[in-house]
Amino acid sequence: MATLFECQNVNKAYGGLSAVKDLTFFVEEGEIYAIAGPNGAGKTTLFDTITGVSPVTSGVIRFDGQEIQRRRPDSICRLGIARTFQTTVAFDTQTVLTNVLVGGMLGREGTGNPSTSFSEAAIEAALDGLEFCDLLHKQGQLASQLTVSERKRLMLATALATQPKLLLLDEPVGGLNRTEREDMLSLVRKVNQAGVTVLLIEHIMKAVQAVAGRLLILHHGEKIAEGPPSQVLRDERVIEVYLGGKHRERQSASDGGG
């Protein structure tokens, strides 16, 4: 398999805080690659740098043979990278279809003026995205009327409407119940089987093990382990980081505070 995506010595600092430190990894075409790590590890920041929302401090990000670390978000999206967000974002006062159309526009050239019309290709891609995410029957509803699970699928449909080669998912099963979680994971697998490479942030290890071929653990912005999930989850440093977190949670619960 060819390398589709690569981070090389990527650093991201917010003032004096190093959120991502000297991070190097690559993603092969066709794989589902997961990133996990405690809260504040730098996972979302990494997605922000990849998508141009918050440019790297230093380092190289390469996608499909091109350096992208100095490009703008819309340009990166047009190259074939789309993302979803950790919290569900949508235009609440607009319909489900309008949401997907407007979001999907970012990924295409010459869509025209969205305040007057959308191209046929844009409408087709939007409807395909909705159908893929089982939301076609909700297309006329306002986004505000959707359940959390449907809003997560709306974000996914919007990302798919940009027709990405690489899809970045930030905690797609967070806040979902067990059944919804299974459904979302099936959807992630289906997207991948349709030919989309997936980079997935997830801290629910069962979810990671169910879908990902490889797993990277971030801790304080640094890679501390990488490999097949079963192997990484046996790594001593990883166990220490995760058990450490659980230990602290137990401590604060027994202290009666949070």
Ligand X SMILES: Nc1ncnc2c1ncn2[C@@H]1O[C@H](COP(=O)(O)OP(=O)(O)O)[C@@H](O)[C@H]1O
> Which residues here bind ligand X, judged by CB under 6 A?
14, 17, 19, 37, 39-45
Give me the least distance between CB of 256 and ligand X, in Å please: 25
**Of Mg ion, ligand X, none, which one does residue 14 interact with (CB within 5 to 8 Å by kind)?**
ligand X
- Helices 96-105 and 120-132, axial angle in degrees (round to 10): 120
Give me the least distance between CB of 58 and ligand X, in Å please: 16
- The DSSP code for 137 is G
Q: Is 44 in the site for Mg ion (CB under 5 A)?
A: yes
Which residues are CB-contacts of 208 (< 8 A; sequence separation ≥ 6)?
A: 34, 36, 200, 202, 215, 229
**Of ligand X, Mg ion, none, which one does residue 185 interact with (CB within 5 to 8 Å by kind)?**
none
**Of Mg ion, ligand X, none, which one does residue 104 interact with (CB within 5 to 8 Å by kind)?**
none
Q: Is 45 in the site for Mg ion (CB under 5 A)?
A: no
Q: Which is nearer to ligand X, 36 or 102 (CB)?
A: 36
Alpha carbon distance 158, 98 (integer Å): 10
Count of residues that interact with Mg ion, criterion CB under 5 A: 3
**Of Mg ion, ligand X, none, which one does residue 158 interact with (CB within 5 to 8 Å by kind)?**
none
Question: 3-state class of 119 per DSSP?
Answer: coil
Q: Which is nearer to ligand X, 48 or 150 (CB)?
A: 48
Give me the least distance between CB of 202 and ligand X, in Å please: 11
Tell me the DSSP string of 21-65.
EEEEEEEETT-EEEEE-STTSSHHHHHHHHTTSS--SEEEEEETT
Alpha carbon distance 127, 243 (integer Å): 44
**Interacting residues with Mg ion (CB under 5 A):** 43-44, 86
